[in-house]
């Protein structure tokens, strides 16, 4: 089936949908939930995060069906570019990890500067280990909540991690990027990378540090035509907190 173009205007509309969704569930809901219940911040965060990621994952699947594609494994693999990875694809995936993590570390000073600007500073109820995990993580505690013995946390966080990784990559790189290529051509990765980066408006102090990595990931996926690359990249970059929770729960 011939892909329909997804130009700047519809891309902006879709960006506003996903960005406002994440801003509501991750920026507004957890502090409000903590204030209303007095429970540890992690509880409200998990409710908001898993809910938001489920909606993004659902949107990525509904978009495929709304486009009129057949519900078959082969058709889905072809449309979302989930073909087998080759040796060069693995090399590009490694480069994606190095570039995104490297720039995030190199540009960490921009996060510090942006936190000092009221418009980009974290809400007062944000726990320190959410604002800056690298400096403020305490073994066995996450977002004000002791982890030891709470095995259900591993299951809930794993569900959120899966929905986050697969949902966002199906949505941005699987469904959107091929259609943006039809509309914008070789510069589609710029549109896609900007959208993916600035949907993280719920942590606005990190937007500049994340930008080079976001752009490079979209560029690499467009160049190689493999969504698995960004799924693997996203999963590995985000897995550290899951490992931290497993270690904390096990004690």
Instruction: Tell me the per-residue pLDDT of 108-139, one tens digit each, with 9 for 90 and over.
Output: 999 999 999 998 999 888 999 999 988 888 99
Class of residue 113 by CB neighbours under 10 A (exposed 0-12, middle 13-18, buried 19+): exposed
Q: CA–CA separation, 146 vs 148, rounded Å? A: 6
Which residue carries 């959120």 as its tokens?
A: 160
Class of residue 45 by CB neighbours under 10 A (exposed 0-12, middle 13-18, buried 19+): buried
Within a 10 A sphere around the Cβ of 251, how many other Cβ atoms? 9
Q: Confirm if 96 and 233 have CB atoms less than 8 A apart.
A: yes
User: pLDDT for 94-106, tens place per residue?
Assistant: 999 999 999 999 9
Nearest to 109 by CA among 186, 209, 207: 209
pTM confidence score: 0.94
């Amino acid at each position: 089936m011939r892909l329909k173009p997804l130009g700047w205007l519809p891309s902006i509309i879709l960006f506003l949908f996903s960005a406002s969704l994440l801003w509501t569930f991750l920026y507004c809901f957890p502090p409000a939930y903590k204030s209303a219940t007095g429970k540890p911040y992690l509880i409200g965060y998990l409710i908001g995060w898993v809910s938001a990621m489920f909606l993004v994952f659902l949107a990525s699947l509904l978009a495929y069906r709304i486009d009129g594609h057949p519900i078959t494994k082969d058709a889905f693999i072809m449309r979302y570019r989930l073909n087998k990875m080759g040796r060069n694809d693995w090399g590009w995936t490694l480069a994606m990890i190095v570039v995104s993590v490297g720039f995030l570390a190199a540009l960490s000073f921009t996060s510090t500067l942006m936190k000092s600007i009221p418009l980009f500073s974290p809400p007062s109820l944000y726990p320190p280990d959410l604002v800056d995990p690298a400096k403020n993580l305490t073994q066995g505690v996450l977002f004000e909540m002791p982890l030891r013995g709470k095995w259900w946390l591993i299951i809930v966080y794993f569900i959120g991690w899966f929905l986050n990784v697969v949902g966002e990559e199906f949505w941005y790189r699987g469904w959107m990027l091929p259609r943006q290529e039809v509309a914008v051509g070789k510069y589609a990765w710029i549109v896609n990378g900007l959208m993916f980066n600035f949907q993280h408006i719920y942590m606005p102090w990190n937007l500049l540090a994340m930008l080079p990595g976001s752009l490079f990931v979209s560029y690499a996926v467009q160049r190689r035509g493999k969504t698995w690359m960004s799924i693997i990249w996203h999963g590995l970059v985000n897995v550290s907190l899951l490992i931290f929770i497993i270690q904390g729960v096990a004690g």
